[in-house]
Each structure stands twice: as structure tokens, then as C-alpha cells.
Structure 1
Amino acid sequence: MTTPASVLIVGESLAGTTAARELRTLGYGGAITVIGAERHGPYSRPPLSKTVLKDPTADESLGLRLDDLGVDVARTTATGVDVDRRVVTAVDGSFAYDALIIATGAEARRIAVPGQRGELVLRTLDDARRLRARMADARSAIVLGAGFLGMEVAGACAARGVPVTVVDVDRPLERVLGGYLSAAITARARERGIRFHHARGLATLAGDPVSGVRLPDGTVLTADLVVTCAGESPCTGWLAGSGLADGLGVGIDHACSTGVPGVFAAGDVTYLRANEGSVPPRRAPFWANAVAQGRVAAASVLGLPAAGPPTDDFFWTEVAGLAIKVVGPLPVTGEPTARDGDPGAGRALLTWDRPDGRSTVVAYGLRKSVAALRALAS
């Protein structure tokens, strides 16, 4: 494979910045251009819900540096791509490429009806600052969604003394962490003042501007602050007509190749195709996967073997002030096969052995390094 004379990365996401840095680490000396639409430049998103909502000083610690890499950054928005001509069009011009890495990430999924004003989400630094300011004056809050983000936002509300109710059809984190851990998480959250409402169907936003949540039975819950935490959607609109994206995002193989010559993808915009070990095909928009795929995409652009797979079964979250680290496949179900400690006391090391020989290890409120957890899960 001929080394490309130029590499174009669309997206200043964690995956995009990781790919740029990995290209240089692997010795690539050619031109790298990054198209980025984020006015703040590249930054890390996990701290938005974990620290920025609680601490204004955290805003300054999020940056992902590119200025030491000899990279050209175009502050604009991609609007299309011609894979035959190998050209990406943008609001402020067009960019030719020899190799392209798609890393445009995802955006918060919104559920407001057309024209309904005031929906609040958390995906960007501006979103986090807006929520933080609203929390300062709020006397009550509703979080729609009991997933990782929803529980972190609810925890931030509780930490600031704002009474908060979490609404979802599922119990907290049950879909990925199973009933055993969900019960422990729910109990801890309730002890810290977080309330839960189990909706028997999909809830919608009420008011214009939004002032509450309408439940399937017609009941309306109101609050000063209402936050939608209903997942995310891959940013693929600019790829319309290119054949690179579908409803799930951009499909990739284990080399982060899209199947189109010279085009690779990494991060939250992607999903691993079914014939690449994911059955059914499924998105996994976690921080560790974005890093892994950024590195794999960079190696593949240069025709080099990747140092590891395009997935990394590690993530961590914080619920009501308690850190939870997980290494291994998800979801987990049933009781753990091994337990050291007591989740009810907020400190436990839990292991789920799986039929395929792999294990999932959870450090629940324990200070355990990722390396130590990986060793236990291997």
C-alpha cells in the first residue's frame, strides 16, 4: 500500500484527535488536515457530566491538544463528500484527500416536537455550562433517561442540593449492568435524594417552552429544570448520498475501513458490522472505543497492522458520588459469579463469568486500576 500524501480527518472528536496523534506517533510526516466545527476546539466530553456540571474550574482542563502535531485545522463544517473525486465539501470551501478518516461523532438525541422550545440536553461544553447555570437557580429537576448520562446528570443535581426525579421505562442502568447492580445503584441514589418514576411507556416533553414531562397515562410532572438524556445519534447528515452511512451510522470492519477505498471511520459515528463480530450490528459509543478506533484507523491509513482491536471493553461512570469501573463485555445478567465486598456498603469487586470463557469485572466504589481489572477479566 502506498503511503498517502495527505490525510483529511473530519471531526475534532476524541477519535479524530487520537487518529491525528497516532499518525504522527507511527512516523507519518505527510500533511494532516482536521476539519472541526466546534468553536471551542477539541475537548474531552466525559468530564462534562462528571465534573463540569459541578465545578466551573473544570472547563479549562478539557482540551485535547493538536498544536504540537503540525496539523492544519479548518474551523468549518463538512457538508458533503465525493468519494470518487476524493473531495470533502464544507461551508468554507472544499478539501481534497488521499485518505479520509470520518470522526464526526454523535449529537444528543432530542425528543421535542417540531417547534417546541426549551429542550435541554448535554453533549457539548456549551450544553454543560447552560445546565450548570440553570442548576444554580433550580428548585426541582427532572431527568428523562436512566442511562449513564441521565444518572450522572441526576447525581450532579443532587450534589448541588436540587431535588431530582429520573423518569424512564427501564430501571437505572439495568439494560447494560443488569438487575443486580441496578438494584444497588437505585438504593444508593435514593439514599442521596434521587427519586425515580417508572414510566409505563415512552414519556414526552410538556410545555412550550419545556416545563415538564408528560407520562403515557396523561400525568404531567413539572420542574424548574428538565433535561433529556435519551441517547445520541451519529452525525452522518453530511454523508448523505455517499453510500458511507445508514441509519446506524458508518459501518466499519476491524481495520476501521468503511469498504470504500481510502475512507476510514472511528468513534461515536461508527458501528461494527455484523460480520465483524457484532451480532446484530451495534453502536458502542464509549470513550475507550473512540480511542481504540482512532488508533486503528491511523494504522490502517498507513497500511500498518493495528496494535489492538477496534473495541475496548472498558468504561467508567459515577453514580451519586460512587465510581463504577467496568472491564469486559456488556450487558451482564443475573448474580455475579464472584463477589468480594458488599455493594450495599458501596465497596465491592464483582465478576461475571460468561459462557464464552470471558469475564466482566466491576469495581463498585473501589479504587482499582484499569490494568488490574483487565488482568482479572482476562
Structure 2
Amino acid sequence: MSNKRRVAILGATGAVGQRYIQLLQGHPWFEISVLAASERSAGKKFKDAATWLMDTDMPKEIGEMQVANIDVKSAEQTDDFDLVFTSLPGDLAGPVENEFGAHYPVFSKASAHRMDNDVPLIIPEINPDHIELVKVQQKKRNWKGFITTDPNCSTIGMTLTLKPLMQFGIQQVMVTTMQALSGAGYPGVPSLDIIDNVIPYISGEEEKMESEALKILGTFNGVSIDYADFQLSASCNRVNVKDGHLEAVFIKLDKEPSLEETETAFTTFKGEPQKLKLPSAPTQPIIVRHEKNRPQPRYDRDAEQGQSVVVGRLRKDPIMTLKYMCLSHNTVRGAAGGGILSAELYVTKGLA
């Protein structure tokens, strides 16, 4: 890339916004030019507006940047950025992303537009062809820019492992999640609710997993997405872990692959990000571990800088066909890291 694309981060003071900041440090294609947040943060230096949550120090130049309460009109006048990453709350994200999407490429982590018929829901290794849907969106809405979305953090880890198994014919999937506290944002779940406890409910999470995976694994027909045709049932739980969503997956297949064939399907799976050698792409999207007690969040969430999904405990199931555990870093691959990887894919395709 000869010229770096200038990036605006909406919701920059939140946990996902901060992860974007962390991951974009030294990025070869993107540079942060605008940090935007709510009115209560606008006008302050970032270091005074944000409670820094990352495990690395706040970059000094970021700390000195002034937080903007940005709107589309002022953005067009100042011409300060080329594309937008958003990590806004769902209720706020919908209208704000529409305003920006009319003028700029918008890469959204929010749920507001994920299931819109003309909005792609992207995991770059799985459905890179779906990005062409933004051309339909632009024509339909008469927009110069577009909105593209990343899935729910729990959906991403599971769906990455389902893609290589589609060659065996998927009939049914059941998944039980053990989701990290950082998925609830900051300050998140009160300590007295989660210490010595598991909370067997996360609002809207099961519905997202059950619908989003079918869109992601569907087929782009040139106008819209034909959803994948299998049944999916999810049960989601919040556990006392800082980062890393661990999921127990049970899958019924048309065929009966051996465990060796299944493992080979996982370990040989690669997608467009690997072929294109995108800067944020893991060399191996799915890593299989053979220890009886892995994967574990503490030891495996940072695999390939948090961009890989780690699978373990792969075994036959007496009711379904197969069962296994999968683990993904919910604020890297499941949030900011996935968004950056999507943006890299759009850039290589000349769409952003």
C-alpha cells in the first residue's frame, strides 16, 4: 500500500474501540485519524476520556488526540478519514451507521444491520464473495459508501469451524457457549453477579447465533443471500473468564467422516485472507490441539495474535456425528481483529 487509508473509530473509548486502537498500531495499510465517542467524551483528550482496558500501554499519540463528537456534515467538510470502524451500542448504531454509510465504507461490529437483506455479514475466510452485496446496497440506497458487518463474537468461532465440515453435509448443530466477561463491555457484569457463579442467559445471544451462521454460510445469488439449510440450536452462558469464548459443539452430518478426516478438514482449511496474505490473517485459521484438557481460554485465546480458532476434544458422538470444543478470542477475532481483517479484504478487492 503506497498510501495508508485514514480510519475513524466510532465508539473509540469503549472496550472494542480500544482493541481497534491497539491492533491498528503500526498497521501497514491503515492509520487512525479520528477517535469519536459520546458527547460526554467529546472535546477531551483521549487519555482523559477513556478508562484504558488493554494489557498494553495506551499509545502516547493516541492519548493526546482529541475525542470528536463527529457527524457526517462536519466529516465531509474536514475530510479527515477514508473509512469507518464502528463499535457503537446497538440502539445507537443503526441510525448513525446509516448516516455514515451513505458517504463512507462503514465496517460495523454492532448488531443493528447484520440481518438486513442488502448488508453483508462477513467472516473473510468463509464468505469473501458476499462482499459483492455492497454493490447491490449502493445501487438500491443510492449511496456512495456502504455498511458491512461482522458477526456476533460467539458466532464467529463456531462458524469458522463449521465451514470446513460443510463438505460432509451439515444437518443439525447444537452449541453451548461459555462466554467471557469482556463480551459484555465495560464495566460489564457486576462482580457480585459473576463471582462464584455462571449466568445461563445472555440477552439476544442465542437468537444471533442461530440466525447469523445460516446467513454467513449461505450463498450469494447476485442479488441477496440464500441462507444455509440446516438446523442450529444455541444455549449461551456467561462465565468468570476475562477473554475467550469456549464453545461445546455437537454436529450431525450426512456423511460419517473419521476423526482423522475431520481433523484434516480443520487443519487444511484456508481462505482468501491466507491466499492474499492479508496483514491480519492468521497462517492457520483453525488450530487443532490433542491434549485431553485443551483448549482453555487462559492458554489458547491468543493463538496467532488472537486471530485463530482453537479446536480440541474432537470425538465421535453417540447421538450426533461429532462433538468438539472450540475457543476464540472474543475481542480480537470476535470483534476488532475480525473487523480489521474484513477491511483488508475489501481494500484488496478495490471496494474500500
Shorter-chain TM-score tier: 0.3 to 0.5
Q: TM-score, normalised by structure 1?
A: 0.31
Q: Which has the higher strand share?
A: 1
Q: Which has the higher helix share?
A: 2
